[in-house]
């Protein structure tokens, strides 16, 4: 391999939220952080080289964004996924979460109903409720270690005339599903029939395991593309989330203009100097690094599955099809949410994302981040084993 993903890293005291905010979010500071969804790998050297070149210029004024910035994102989407996206439909935004929040604020009204599929990334519900919209939940169904969409319930929820938007997570965080073409088409057909617009959070699109295929929701048809606003980024893929850069694709030009104007009102339209060059380098030169990363993540996943089967059989692994997050089922231990969380922190000295954060049907689960060198993953799994073994 050209890139070393086994390299030892030390992120303590480098202002890392994942490592340095442990004491704010958990019971003590001495836990192993395997919660926040960023990677404990060095960023691709091709990206670092572009950032170093910018650093060497020694001046960091306001940034003028070239057309090549958007073209790099469009070319990447075409090259890897066969979706010919028009660069003129793209706009830069500081992140997917603020983009979704702003979309709801601009293109829905207070008390409109917004649909999500639980368990799902918890900022979704926070965004909806804090914007004074009404949260509607389509509970995913878990069967034999895999999650499926309850389409009967999904259709019923979409038939409500007060339901205006559906937030799709594909690939799905935290359950790891990469929705199939048929699943996506069924959701799209129901949304079209009931005049429900779609916000597609596709930030995990590049992180899909072998034998599975990510399909851009907006690529299904021109009709579905027209009702969909897609959010994506290079930041999860290349471990540069701290650079605060993402893309939003608006098929309707009038909505792009309105969104752009609002970014202007907030004065957050520009990139910083480093995100500009980093994103272009990622899309133009980062593919070899990503391909090796995917192989490494697959080996980490295989290691984790085997470890649980041999050493912690009471805990069931929901095998992900995408993302570097793994959804772990602790329900057989018979603990309530608080006791499970404290057990892992106190006895295992490990910080995971508690399942109940992701919705009412996330109780009894925990989410672990496996995007780290093997020595850290092995340490984390041993800590989970110690915690489970401590139960009398």
* In CATH, 61-284 is 3.90.170.10: no
Residues of the chain with pLDDT under 70: none
User: DSSP class of residue 195?
Assistant: T
- Rounded to two decimals, what is the model's pTM? 0.97
Q: Which residues contact 326 (CB under 8 A, 6 or more apart)?
A: 176, 301, 304, 317, 318, 319, 320, 367, 368, 370
User: For residues 216 and 78, what is the distance between their CA atoms, to the nearest angstrom?
Assistant: 11
Q: Give the model's pLDDT for residue 63.
A: 95
User: DSSP class of residue 297?
Assistant: H
User: Across the beta sheet with 197-201, what order do the strands follow?
Assistant: 90-93, 246-249, 228-232, 197-201, 163-169, 113-118, 134-139
User: For residues 360 and 351, what is the distance between their CA atoms, to the nearest angstrom?
Assistant: 20
CA distances from 280 to 203, 206, 283 (A): 16, 16, 5
Q: For domain 17-44+286-390, which architecture applies?
A: Alpha-Beta Complex (3.90)
H-assigned helices in 17-130: 17-20, 22-25, 45-56, 67-81, 96-107, 123-130
Domain(s) of CATH 3.40.640.10: residues in the chain: 61-284
Q: Give the model's pLDDT for residue 392.
A: 77
Q: Give the model's pLDDT for residue 134.
A: 98
User: For residues 298 and 366, what is the distance between their CA atoms, to the nearest angstrom?
Assistant: 20
Domain(s) of CATH 3.90.1150.10: residues in the chain: 17-44+286-390
CB-based contact 350:383 (threshold 8 Å):
yes
Strand ranges inside the chain, DSSP E: 32-33, 90-93, 113-118, 134-139, 141-143, 146-148, 163-169, 197-201, 228-232, 246-249, 316-318, 325-329, 350-351, 353-354, 365-369
Q: What is the CA radius of gyration of the chain?
A: 21
Q: Which residues contact 265 (CB under 8 A, 6 or more apart)?
A: none
User: For residues 234 and 205, what is the distance between their CA atoms, to the nearest angstrom?
Assistant: 10
């Amino acid at each position: 391999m050209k890139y070393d993903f086994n390299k030892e890293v030390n992120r303590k005291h480098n202002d890392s939220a994942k490592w340095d905010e442990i004491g704010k979010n958990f019971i003590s500071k001495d836990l192993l952080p395997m919660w926040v969804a960023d990677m404990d790998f060095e960023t691709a050297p091709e990206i670092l080289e572009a950032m170093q070149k910018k650093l060497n210029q020694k001046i960091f004024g306001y940034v003028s964004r070239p057309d090549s910035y958007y073209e790099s994102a469009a070319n990447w989407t075409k090259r890897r996924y066969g979706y010919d996206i028009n660069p003129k439909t793209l706009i830069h935004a500081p992140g997917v979460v603020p983009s979704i929040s702003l979309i709801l604020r601009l293109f829905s009204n207070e008390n409109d109903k917004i649909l999500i599929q639980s368990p799902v990334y918890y900022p979704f519900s926070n965004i909806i409720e804090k914007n004074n919209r009404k949260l509607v939940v389509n509970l995913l169904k878990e069967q034999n270690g895999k999650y499926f969409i309850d389409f009967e319930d999904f259709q019923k929820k979409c038939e409500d005339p007060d339901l205006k938007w559906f937030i799709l997570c594909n690939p799905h965080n935290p359950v790891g599903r990469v929705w199939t073409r048929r699943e996506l088409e069924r959701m799209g057909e129901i949304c079209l029939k009931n005049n429900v617009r779609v916000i597609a959070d596709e930030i995990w699109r590049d992180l899909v395991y072998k034998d599975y295929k990510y399909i851009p929701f907006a690529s299904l048809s021109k009709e579905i593309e027209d009702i969909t606003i897609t959010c994506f980024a290079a930041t999860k893929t290349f471990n540069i989330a701290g650079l605060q850069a993402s893309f939003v694709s608006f098929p309707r030009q009038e909505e792009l203009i309105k969104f752009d104007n609002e970014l202007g009102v907030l004065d957050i339209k520009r990139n910083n100097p480093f995100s500009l060059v980093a994103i272009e380098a990622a899309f133009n030169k980062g593919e070899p690094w990503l391909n090796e990363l995917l192989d490494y993540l697959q080996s980490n996943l295989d290691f984790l599955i085997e470890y649980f089967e041999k050493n912690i059989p009471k805990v069931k692994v929901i095998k992900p099809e995408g993302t570097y997050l793994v959804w772990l089922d602790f329900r057989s231990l018979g603990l309530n949410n608080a006791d499970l969380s404290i057990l892992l922190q106190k006895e295992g000295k490990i910080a995971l994302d508690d399942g109940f954060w992701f919705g009412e049907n996330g109780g009894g689960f925990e989410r672990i981040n496996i995007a780290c060198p093997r020595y850290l993953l092995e340490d984390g799994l041993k800590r989970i084993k110690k915690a489970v073994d401590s139960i009398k």
